[in-house]
């Protein structure tokens, strides 16, 4: 049976569709809240690495250094890592392979 867009549906179908739309909106809101919580968690982890020796692996290769700053300009935590050769490396939190501890 085809649904005619010009004829109203019966009340039971209408209520069922409203419930589906409501459930979709609740799922969307929960997804946004989970994304926000994940960003907050990652931010806390990144800030907690300041002063720590870390081993990083990224597109530019691997290295060990001290996290001296964290930035959030792109919406993602980026770590400034000072290597023994005094080079500053800008890496993503996901590039940290090992946390060696405090100096």
Positive or negative, the Cα torsion across 31, 33, 44, 88? positive
Provide the CATH topology of domain 10-103: SH3 type barrels. (2.30.30)
Per-residue pLDDT tens digits of the chain, which is 103 residues long: 556 655 666 788 888 888 999 999 999 999 999 988 988 998 899 999 999 999 988 666 778 899 999 998 777 888 888 888 877 778 888 888 889 865 4
Q: Is residue 68 a contact partner of residue 80, using CB atoms and an 8 Å limit?
A: yes
Return the pLDDT at 47: 92
Return the pLDDT at 31: 95
Instruction: Give the Cβ contact number of residue 67 at 10 Å.
Output: 23
Return the pLDDT at 72: 86
Alpha helices in 1-103 (DSSP H): 11-48
Q: Where are the domains of the chain?
A: 10-103
């Amino acid at each position: 049976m085809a649904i005619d867009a010009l004829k109203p549906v019966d009340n039971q179908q209408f209520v069922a569709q409203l419930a589906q739309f409501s459930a979709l909106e609740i799922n969307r809101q929960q997804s946004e809240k989970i994304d926000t919580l994940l960003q907050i968690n990652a931010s806390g982890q990144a800030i907690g690495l300041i002063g720590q020796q870390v081993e990083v692996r990224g597109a530019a290769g691997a290295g060990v250094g001290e996290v001296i700053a964290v930035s959030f300009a792109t919406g993602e935590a980026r770590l400034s890592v000072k290597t023994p050769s005094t080079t500053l490396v800008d890496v993503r939190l996901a590039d940290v392979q090992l946390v060696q501890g405090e100096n």
